[in-house]
Structure 1
Amino acid sequence: MPVVGYCSPGICRIRHLDTLLEAPARFFFQRPGRDVTHIAGWGLKPTAKKARRIAAARDLPYISLEDGFLRSLELGVSGAPAHSMVVDHSGIYYDATRPSDLETLVRDADFSESEIERARECMSLLRRYRLSKYNRAPDMPLQWPDRQRVLVVDQTLGDAAVTFGGASADSFRQMLEAAIAEHPESEVCVKVHPDVIAGKKRGYLLALARECGCRVLAEDISPWAVLDAVDEVYVVTSQMGFDALLAGKKVHCFGLPFYTGWGLTEDRQHCERRGVPRSLEQVFCAAYLRYSRYINPYTGERCELEDTIALLAEQKRQRARLGDCWLGLGFSPWKRRFVPDFLGRPSTLEFAPARPAAVRARQGASQTRVAAWASGLAPSLVRACKDAGMPLWRMEDGFLRSVGLGADLVRPLSLVLDARGIYYDARAASDLEAILAETEFDRALLARACALRESLVSARLSKYNVGQAGKLTDLGAAPGQRVLLVPGQVETDASIAGGSPLLKTNEELLRAVRALNPDAFIVYKPHPDVVAGARRGAVTATELWDRQITDAAMPQLLEQVDEVHTLCSLSGFEALLRGRKVVTYGLPFYAGWGVSEDLLLDPVARDKLQSVADARAGQFDPAPVLARRGRTLEIDQLVAGVLLLYPVYCDPHTGELVNAETAVRLLQQQRERPAPSGPLAIGRRLFRLYRNAFLRR
């Protein structure tokens, strides 16, 4: 088996290096171990010279490592984990003085038609999500006058891509002069690195651009936003030239980046090893599909380009959505530990008690939004936010939360943040309702939703992932008898108040199910928090069910029943994922979209439910809710809205935002680990005793 040795300390910081190299990696200081078969170094950095010398002295193959073309959300220098890497056995892609694996791949171009089609689809995804090597910069339209404009891209002084790309300082001067001379009627814009303006780095063009009267763009802004505002692009060796090709711009090259010499660009230099025409799809195939290696840095698993695009696109979407300034109200010390991560680690986050005075004291704070836990939100606080003109975002646990209960202080992998209301309160509109009512679900999104649904079902994942898999056997129903599952809920939970207009208790639900289905076999599963003693909702009328199950995992139980009858439990949604019939007695978020049988839509059934329900405060008219939910959805459209677009997912180890697919794999990995023991398990048991004695509600 190959063993790769390296002597650069920086390479030690690469996560999951063995997986990316497809071989064990060994760090050495002076001499590699006897088992080392290859020596690796980082590109053409000075630290790689030592590695090259050792490889030559020991007659070992040398491998060049570099960041891939789609690296991360944040910058590598800020510690962001890499989503891709290139491993080159003959050179490195930005070194035009010698062949590289990438150059050979482009020159040979032995790509199948299916690869070419895949390249087209991936290029389309990059354009759609506006992704490039780094994706932290704001992506917003430039407020420039509408006129013809050309872009000239500067680079930092001493960049190896310039030195080994056949260029020099004179190349940049020639490039700017050519852009001005060839476009006398256009405005010439020079893009320089923000650090150059700040004096932290040096570039090639800042002084000359000012001298020539060019527009200087130094803001930290997405390359796609800049490309939207220009007609042609001039580069020396910058990767932004390839982004420009993807954006359909004409590109002039004054150096020898990997994408020149193939007939795609206007080249001012010639490379004898190239010179054969290649399509953009062929070059993309070589660079992004064959040359680059991709990894999910949070799960540690290799993945495909499409997976990396989906993950980075979601990180970028959530970063843009969440913004920078927040006021968190009423969060416990425990929740304060993870809430900042779910808000995208904003530049400004202040915690305060959940009192109207805390809002009034900050009235007028520019662009500050309020975050508060939805189930504990007092009407007075809602009014205070409205009066202060501060947007209120309600927060709650997500639908794929954790391995373990929130009542046990298990950190969540997902939360929801809703600027309109909250998903379980049907009395008011919510962001989820708007997503389901308004989103145009395209093919790529539905394909992701379908794959996610299938993975959840096959892995038997649910919200809390508690209970014992494999313990459940025969339920005891007679042959041919319909088996109905009734999932219990916490009766004091806000989801009952806002999601069930008529019935308010588990006993009322069971009586209604028995009345409407006298011949069915009813299985009752109390809520885990109720079983744990943390919440209220126990039912003592044992004649209302045929069997009660408390310790089985919900996904396994759903596989053995025919129907699920529920007020507004998430178990109904989990049943829909598994193709089970779901009958709702309330208005859960998945009701009213045509995927479930909703008894409140049937006047006769509604009258029967009214006869079971005790008249009490809190009942409300379901008609306005059903009117808002008039759209008919397919199951994967519902999944896309509920699991892909609505929640915020966060890796509990790094605190970084992730997508739903990554969260699912993290849940699987957590579930596969041994249960906690020692001080952690003892502490959890002690907390349960305290919680059940003093915090039960």
Structure 2
Amino acid sequence: MLGRPFLRIPPFPGATPKHFDRRTGPAADVEAIAAELKRQRVGGGYWGAQPPLPTDYVLAAPNCPPELASRISEGRPIIFFDCEADPWHMLESASALVAEPGDELNLVASLLGCPRVEVDTATDEIRAVTRDLCEMLAQEFGGLFESPFTGEPMDAIEAIQLCGFWRELIDSNRDIVGGLGFAFWKQRHVAPLLWDGGEPFKFLRTSDSVRAGARIAVWRSKVPQETAAELETVGASPIEVEDGFLRSRGLGADCVPPLSITVDRLGAYFDPSRESELELLLEMGTFDEALLERARELRRLIVAAGLGKYDRGQSVLDRPAGERCHILVPGQVEDDRAVVLGGCGLFSNLELLRRVRDRAPHAYILYKPHPDVVAGHRRGAIPSGDCLEYADEIVGDVPISSLIAMVDQVHVNTSLAGFEALLREKPVTTFGVPFYAGWGLTTDLGPVPGRRTAMRSIDELVAATLLLYPRYFDPVTGLPCPPEVVVQRLSEGEEPDAGIVVGLRRFQGKLMRRLRSLVQ
């Protein structure tokens, strides 16, 4: 019997669940469990550090007397296991393990095929191994686990795969030394998604401590130009972090923290001048049927709940112009990086409206200003008189998902609303080059880069964009989670606590709107 559960939840910063609750259930399928544990490399402190190791050594448990380990090592180096280390990493190249019978290292060693020698530290005796792998697995994995997100039962394979999901996230963060440009109100949600399994993630105020070759996560729009130049001078490698595509029921400009982020080592996903990891996924990725089925179900859940990036809407809207073609034109923040980089010279919301009207002179055009602009925080407002020269209607406080459901087409510069329209199978015309342009799903008027040659289905686009690319934070447990959990939370109204910062920011926005109206 091990002293503690073998399969554990990593201690993500700020997360509340520390272990899996268990239920009675069927006996363990030990062969399937062993195969999945080896595939996912989870069990024990699998989030631990991965120090450099020699090629041939004996690993000894930390409480093993050195003289006992020496009797077994036959002159090979002896490494004593550090409880803060990843046991899978430590045992993968070990020639033998020396440990007491109840040590969980025995189970990892057995799964990896590493020879085991059991010792009795009370008597200094070396014993033959008496417990086999099947016996240990049957004892550890009989019954059911409970999901930390829903409390619903999971079988052992599902619990192992969830731990594998966490391991993959942690492993991807091991070379990131810290972050620059992260506002304090985002940090609680972002920290678990960038945690490397050791010390809490470091949010830096300056680049002074960043060394040559270091990988540093950056929220680029909040990093001063001089700081970015300093990173380049020292040879640091910035990793672009941005809001994800299912963000929250609230605005970033109102200081509502995101429930998802994207982390890209190649570049910003909205910059068509260079490759991004998302573009490579769409150009070269393979998507099996299980993943595509999951994408179809996720899309169904999003559409059924009326979810968008910032809001939720399920109301059915009347068509104001009957049988005329209705076109929705979403405005954007005109100095946003997605517009500056992806608009390919088109920055003005008014110019976007003019181009849409030129292409569709008889359509009923609805213009929806960007919520950050409406809130009074960002650039991009159009005087009503100017707007109505090209648009038939300015739409205010109506969820964009409801508008998309009502209209016939959506025309965008680079707005994420175009992606949300594709989820709802609406025709989309792009004037700039958003990430979803160039894959055969949109009418593209912008200069799509020649790198984008693959033709993708909507389900493949969803699989890459919502399942494989972003990272998600569960506001209830504080754990990194699959996107389905965030969709459930947003559908049920679970969202980050607004707090005093959000209240002050919203008051500031109202004041700015009032001042703007007086000037106009």
Q: Is it true that 1:559 corresponds to 2:405 in the alignment?
A: yes
Which residue matches 2:80?
A: 218
List per-residue Cα deviations over 1:102-138 (Å, max 9, x = no partner): 7xx46xxxxxxxxx7xx87776554333222442124
Give the counterpart of 1:389 among 235, 241, 244. Answer: 235
Which residue matches 1:84?
A: 20
Q: 1:654: how far off?
A: 5.7
**Superposition pairs of residues 464-479 of structure 1, within 5 angstroms:** 464-465=310-311, 469-470=314-315, 472-479=316-323
SS of the residue corresponding to residue 450 of structure 2 reads helix
C-alpha contact 2:295 2:460 (8 A) present in aligned 1: yes
Letter in 2 for 1:218: F
Q: Mark the CA change 1:340 to 1:190 in structure 2 (over 3 Å): closer, same or farther.
A: closer
C-alpha contact 1:237 1:253 (8 A) present in aligned 2: no
Q: Distance in 2 between matches of 1:548 and 1:645?
A: 36
Q: Is it true that 1:409 corresponds to 2:409 in the alignment?
A: no
List per-residue Cα deviations over 1:584-630 (Å, max 9, x = no partner): 11100111222322223xxxxxxxxxxxxxxxxxxxxx3xx512222
Give the counterpart of 1:351 among 204, 208, 223. Answer: 204
List per-residue Cα deviations over 1:500-525 (Å, max 9, x = no partner): 11432222222222222334333322
Q: Distance in 2 between matches of 1:285 and 1:447?
A: 32
Q: Distance in 1 between matches of 2:330 and 2:11?
A: 43
**Superposition pairs of residues 183-262 of structure 1, within 5 angstroms:** 189-192=58-61, 196=62, 202-203=63-64, 206-214=66-74, 215-220=77-82, 221-225=85-89, 228-229=92-93, 236=101, 238=103, 243=108, 249=113
C-alpha contact 2:17 2:477 (8 A) present in aligned 1: no
Which residue matches 1:686?
A: 507
Q: Distance in 2 between matches of 1:287 and 1:503?
A: 60
**Superposition pairs of residues 61-80 of structure 1, within 5 angstroms:** 67=5, 69-74=6-11
Q: 1:291: how far off?
A: 0.3
Which residue matches 1:598?
A: 444
Letter in 1 for 2:407: V
Q: Distance in 2 between matches of 1:640 and 1:661?
A: 12
Which residue matches 2:146?
A: 294
SS of the residue corresponding to residue 590 of structure 1 reads coil
Q: Mark the CA change 1:693 to 1:291 in structure 2 (over 3 Å): closer, same or farther.
A: same
Q: Mark the CA change 1:441 to 1:140 in structure 2 (over 3 Å): closer, same or farther.
A: farther
Q: Which moved more, 1:506-515 or 1:340-349?
A: 340-349
Letter in 1 for 2:80: A
Q: Distance in 2 between matches of 1:670 and 1:530?
A: 24
Which residue matches 1:573?
A: 419
**Superposition pairs of residues 473-512 of structure 1, within 5 angstroms:** 473-479=317-323, 481-512=324-355
List per-residue Cα deviations over 1:139-184 (Å, max 9, x = no partner): 6895515xxxxxxxxxxxxxxxxxxxxxxxxxxxxxxxxxxxxxxx
Q: Distance in 2 between matches of 1:629 and 1:397?
A: 23
Q: Mark the CA change 1:501 to 1:283 in structure 2 (over 3 Å): closer, same or farther.
A: same
SS of the residue corresponding to residue 231 of structure 2 reads helix
Q: Mark the CA change 1:599 to 1:686 in structure 2 (over 3 Å): closer, same or farther.
A: closer
SS of the residue corresponding to residue 557 of structure 1 reads helix
Give the counterpart of 1:144 among 55, 67, 70. Answer: 55
Q: Mark the CA change 1:44 to 1:631 in structure 2 (over 3 Å): closer, same or farther.
A: closer
C-alpha contact 1:344 1:656 (8 A) present in aligned 2: no
Letter in 2 for 1:210: S
Q: Mark the CA change 1:291 to 1:342 in structure 2 (over 3 Å): closer, same or farther.
A: closer
SS of the residue corresponding to residue 72 of structure 1 reads coil
List per-residue Cα deviations over 1:15-52 (Å, max 9, x = no partner): xxxxxxxxxxxxxxxxxxxxxxxxxxxx999xxxxxxx
Which residue matches 1:642?
A: 465
Q: Distance in 2 between matches of 1:385 and 1:525?
A: 38
Q: Mark the CA change 1:646 to 1:486 in structure 2 (over 3 Å): closer, same or farther.
A: same
Which residue matches 1:32?
A: none
Q: 1:405: how far off?
A: 1.0
Q: Mark the CA change 1:302 to 1:134 in structure 2 (over 3 Å): closer, same or farther.
A: farther
Q: Mark the CA change 1:477 to 1:377 in structure 2 (over 3 Å): closer, same or farther.
A: same
Which residue matches 1:628?
A: 451
List per-residue Cα deviations over 1:426-463 (Å, max 9, x = no partner): 22332322333343434554444333323222222221
C-alpha contact 1:299 1:666 (8 A) present in aligned 2: no
C-alpha contact 1:142 1:225 (8 A) present in aligned 2: no
Give the counterpart of 1:318 among 169, 189, 197. Answer: 169
Q: 1:308: how far off?
A: 3.7
Which residue matches 1:657?
A: 480
Q: Distance in 1 between matches of 2:224 and 2:459?
A: 35
**Superposition pairs of residues 152-171 of structure 1, within 5 angstroms:** none
Which residue matches 2:122?
A: none
SS of the residue corresponding to residue 371 of structure 1 reads strand
List per-residue Cα deviations over 1:55-85 (Å, max 9, x = no partner): xxxxxxxxxxx74x53212499x98724523
Q: List alignment gaps of at least 5 residues for structure 2.
A: 120-127
Using the size of structure 2 for normalisation, the TM-score is 0.79
Q: Distance in 2 between matches of 1:522 and 1:213?
A: 78
Q: Distance in 1 between matches of 2:222 and 2:168?
A: 28
Using the size of structure 1 for normalisation, the TM-score is 0.61
SS of the residue corresponding to residue 396 of structure 1 reads strand
Number of aligned positions between the proteins = 499
Q: Distance in 2 between matches of 1:558 and 1:303?
A: 37
Q: Mark the CA change 1:321 to 1:563 in structure 2 (over 3 Å): closer, same or farther.
A: same
Q: Distance in 2 between matches of 1:593 and 1:44?
A: 52
Q: 1:676: how far off?
A: 6.9
SS of the residue corresponding to residue 628 of structure 1 reads coil
Specify the structure having the higher radius of gyration (Cα).
Answer: 1
Give the counterpart of 1:546 among 363, 375, 392. Answer: 392
C-alpha contact 2:212 2:234 (8 A) present in aligned 1: no
SS of the residue corresponding to residue 395 of structure 1 reads strand
Letter in 1 for 2:490: L
Q: Distance in 2 between matches of 1:592 and 1:503?
A: 18
Q: 1:379: how far off?
A: 5.0
SS of the residue corresponding to residue 559 of structure 1 reads helix
Q: Mark the CA change 1:588 to 1:80 in structure 2 (over 3 Å): closer, same or farther.
A: same
**Superposition pairs of residues 36-55 of structure 1, within 5 angstroms:** none
Q: Distance in 1 between matches of 2:402 and 2:157?
A: 31
C-alpha contact 1:71 1:133 (8 A) present in aligned 2: yes
Q: Mark the CA change 1:341 to 1:305 in structure 2 (over 3 Å): closer, same or farther.
A: same
Q: Mark the CA change 1:351 to 1:231 in structure 2 (over 3 Å): closer, same or farther.
A: closer
Q: Distance in 2 between matches of 1:502 and 1:211?
A: 73
Q: List alignment gaps of at least 5 residues for structure 1.
A: 1-42, 46-65, 89-100, 107-115, 146-186, 197-201, 256-265, 271-278, 353-357, 601-621
C-alpha contact 1:344 1:657 (8 A) present in aligned 2: no
> How well do the aligned residues superpose, as a CA RMSD in angstroms?
4.2
Q: 1:422: how far off?
A: 1.0
Q: Distance in 1 between matches of 2:470 and 2:515?
A: 31
Q: 1:474: how far off?
A: 0.8
C-alpha contact 1:564 1:580 (8 A) present in aligned 2: yes
Q: Distance in 1 between matches of 2:176 and 2:335?
A: 33
